[in-house]
Amino acid sequence: MSGFFNQIKQGVNSAARMVASSYVFSLKTLLLLKDLAVGGTTAENIPVRLREAFEELGATYIKLGQFIASAPSLFPQEIVTEMQKCLDSVRPLPFSEIQKTLKKELGRDYMSLFQSIDPVPMASASIAQVHSAVTKDGLDVVIKVQRPDIESALGADLNLLYLASKLFEIFVPGLNRSGLSEMVGMFQSSILEEIDFEKEAANIEEFETYLLGSGETRARVPKVYKDLSTRKILTMERFYGAPITDEISLRKYTSDPSKTLSDALEIWFSTLSKSGFFHADVHAGNLMILRDGSVGFIDFGIVGRISSKVWDGLMIFLEGLALNRTDRIASGLVRMDGTAQGVDEKKLAADLEKVFGQMSKMVLDIQMGELEAFDEQKMNAILFEFRDISNRNGLKIPKEFGLLIKQILYFDRYIKSFAPELDLIRDREKFIR
């Protein structure tokens, strides 16, 4: 019976969410008309009002705004530019709201499990809020707490977005070949995985299993406290250290920054080559240099898994990038798609020439020390062009390809900060044990 009432509640919440979304978008439309009445232009104000609506509607739409900002080949430039302002940092919830989730997930006497929980969050994002705490046994931990009702809101929003994308593909000329609904589907599966903290806990433990099994002591992941975790709460060991790009702290914790970075890259590459599993979000905030000099990998909400064929194709692709040969780039892409048949590699290589030149320039600029050359928007634009060209030539590039290339360029940028003598693309074999 409780399941029946939960379904009714979920249906009511979904309906209410759709009404709220309609209200916000209607309000922004009225504001657009007002802008036009006082002499403004609708074209100029649509991106601003759309971004405001996304921010008001919260998690799903903030993430969608970021997705739009990363997909310039699918959306108008003015909207892409405005959506770059959609930051995944929102006003913290009152601790009383966080306590409600803690009580629901861990029990009404949850405070018996802790000596203390800091009511001031360490971080606050659209999906979760993070608080530091001390367990009853005196262990320093961080508690990642999902925002209340985020799951039902996401469910309603994502269903609506997917339906809208299918309708657009039916009724808007040209969109039926754009893969818009496929992209929304990818966005949907990605964000739903991000709110399942049990999956994130399993990802952490999978990485740890590899480290332990290979006798790796140069890196660590935070211990997950399963008895203090649920699908909506993740309690982990608190790491003390600094982002791996913090030069002052890096030199405080290690006498050889170049080796520390090389170790981090070797561990990441080895995990990928031997198990097909990889941390897919190694930006500076998720890689730490710990007080004992080891590397800390944190935040496993986004991970990837690849087959041996994708790995082989990636190596050929990187060889082409290192040697400035589009024929090897094309061969690598063909190898990644195990279902590809009869692809004209010469034509594919010719089609890739322009976009390959853009990627080569970015890599070269990074290797010349111009660290700001790694621009997320430009990188995403390049990856979408790769995807479009591949599709036109009968290839289907695995979604993990884009994640892999981004992580490799992240590492390349870190290396150039402290170890300019290293060349990740050219010397990739050195990092694979």
Q: Is 281 a catalytic residue?
A: yes
Residue 262's pLDDT band (boundaries 50, 70, 90)?
confident
Look at residue 109 in the predicted model and tell me its pLDDT: 94
Look at residue 146 in the predicted model and tell me its pLDDT: 92
Which residue segments constitute the domains of the chain, with CATH numbers given? 1-88+153-192 (no CATH), 95-148 (no CATH), 197-305 (1.10.510.10), 308-397 (no CATH)
The mean predicted confidence, pLDDT, of the chain is: 79
pLDDT per position as a tens digit, 271-303 = 888 888 999 888 777 889 999 989 999 999 888
Which of 60-69, 251-260, 320-329, 366-375 shows the lowest mean pLDDT across its residues? 366-375
Tell me the percentage of the chain whose pLDDT exceeds 70: 73
The answer on pLDDT for 331 being more than 60 is yes
Which of 109, 118, 256, 281 is flagged as catalytic? 281
Look at residue 224 in the predicted model and tell me its pLDDT: 97
Q: If DSSP states are collapsed to H, E and C, what string results for the chain?
A: CHHHHHHHHHHHHHHHHHHHHHHHHHHHHHHHHHHHHCCCCHHHHHHHHHHHHHHHHCHHHHHHHHHHHCCCCCCCHHHHHHHCCCCCCCCCCCHHHHHHHHHHHHCCCHHHHEEEECCCCCEECCCEEEEEEEECCCCEEEEEEECCCHHHHHHHHHHHHHHHHHHHHHHCCCHHHCCHHHHHHHHHHHHHHHCCHHHHHHHHHHHHHHHHHCCCCCEECCCECHHHCCCCEEEEECCCEEECCCHHHHHHHCCCHHHHHHHHHHHHHHHHHHHCEEECCCCHHHEEEECCCCEEECCCCCEEECCHHHHHHHHHHHHHHHHCCHHHHHHHHHHHCCCCCCCCHHHHHHHHHHHHHHHHHHHHHHHCCCHHHCCHHHHHHHHHHHHHHHHHCCCCCCCHHHHHHHHHHHHHHHHHHHCCCCCCCCCHHHHCC
What's the pTM?
A: 0.77
Look at residue 9 in the predicted model and tell me its pLDDT: 47
pLDDT per position as a tens digit, 196-243 = 899 999 999 999 999 999 999 999 999 999 999 999 999 999 999 988
The answer on pLDDT for 370 being more than 90 is no
